[in-house]
């Protein structure tokens, strides 16, 4: 009987020691539960960064159009063809032959004569002795007294409508008292035949031209008009 009591006591002491030993051993923490997406519920979004919503949006990058081969202007085929320039109209009425004593029958039409390789005369040469009176071909206003290398001493006159200009060149001198802005009547003396400019010294004459002015009314610019038919009776 004693031995049985001794055996049971040893068992109890051993069990108590094992229990104490197991409590003193370190234990690893249990792994956290992992949520598994089975497809029946939407997946959780990724965690938001602390900086999200605080950064400015990335700038939009545009292409450099100067480096592209683009038709920046309409093609020539898209532009309607320009209308041809209208022929100049003829000044109303007949003009007076602007050299004193010269009859229309003595005139020669030199309007289309070639001058050099690149231009036409586009004027009328009226031959007369040096010093012959030059007359205003029509009523008008003297707009410019000008000296040029080819024309020499010249006069530009506008008609009363300021649609046409009359050009007198190679003058020997102006009429006394002639000024820019002066109003003249048909037949008034405005100058004298000469050989100034590039005229032949042995062939004095008046270089007379008519041209239709542009809308800008520039005394040096216009569309030439043949004066020969305008000086005929």
Report yes or no on 173 lying in a domain: yes
| % of the chain with per-residue pLDDT over 90 | 52
> Would the pTM of this model clear 0.75, i.e. be above it?
no
Calculate mean pLDDT across residues 68-82.
34
Tens digits of residue pLDDT in 46-55: 555 454 455 5
Q: What is the mean pLDDT of residues 89-106?
A: 85
Q: Is residue 8 part of a domain?
A: no
Please state the domain count of the chain. 1
29 within domain boundaries: no
Q: What's the mean pLDDT in 158-162?
A: 94
Mean pLDDT confidence for 88-100: 78
Domain assignment of residue 203, yes or no: yes
Please give the residue range of the domain that contains residue 123. Answer: 104-231
pLDDT in tens, 126-140: 999 999 999 999 999
- C-alpha–C-alpha distance, residues 159 and 219, integer Å: 12
Q: Is the pLDDT of residue 191 over 90?
A: yes
Residue 99 lies in a domain: no
Q: What is the pLDDT confidence band of residue 79, given thresholds at 50, 70 and 90?
A: very low
Q: Assign residue 115 the CATH number of its domain.
A: 2.70.70.10
Which segments of 39-151 are extended strands (E)?
A: 114-115, 119-120, 124-127, 133-135, 140-148
Place 122 in a pLDDT band, splitting at 50, 70 and 90: confident
């Amino acid at each position: 009987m004693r031995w049985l009591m001794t055996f049971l006591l040893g068992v109890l002491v051993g069990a108590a020691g094992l229990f104490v030993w197991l409590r003193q051993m370190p234990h690893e923490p249990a792994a956290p539960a992992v949520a598994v997406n089975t497809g029946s519920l939407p997946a959780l979004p990724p965690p938001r960064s602390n900086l999200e919503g605080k950064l400015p949006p990335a700038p939009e990058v545009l292409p450099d159009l100067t480096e592209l081969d683009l038709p920046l202007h309409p093609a020539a085929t898209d532009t309607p063809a320009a209308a041809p320039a209208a022929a100049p109209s003829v000044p109303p009425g007949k003009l007076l032959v602007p050299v004193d004593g010269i009859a229309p029958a003595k005139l020669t039409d030199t309007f289309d004569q070639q001058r050099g390789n690149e231009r036409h005369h586009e004027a009328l040469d009226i031959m007369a002795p040096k010093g012959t009176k030059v007359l205003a071909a029509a009523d008008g206003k003297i707009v410019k007294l000008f000296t040029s290398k080819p024309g020499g001493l010249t006069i530009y006159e506008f008609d009363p409508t300021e649609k046409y200009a009359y050009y007198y060149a190679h003058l020997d001198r102006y009429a006394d008292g002639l000024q820019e802005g002066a109003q003249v009547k048909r037949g008034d003396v405005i100058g004298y035949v000469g050989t100034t400019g590039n005229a032949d010294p042995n062939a004095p004459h008046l270089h007379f031209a008519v041209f239709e002015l542009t809308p800008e009314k520039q005394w040096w610019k216009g569309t030439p008009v043949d004066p020969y038919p305008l000086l005929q009776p």
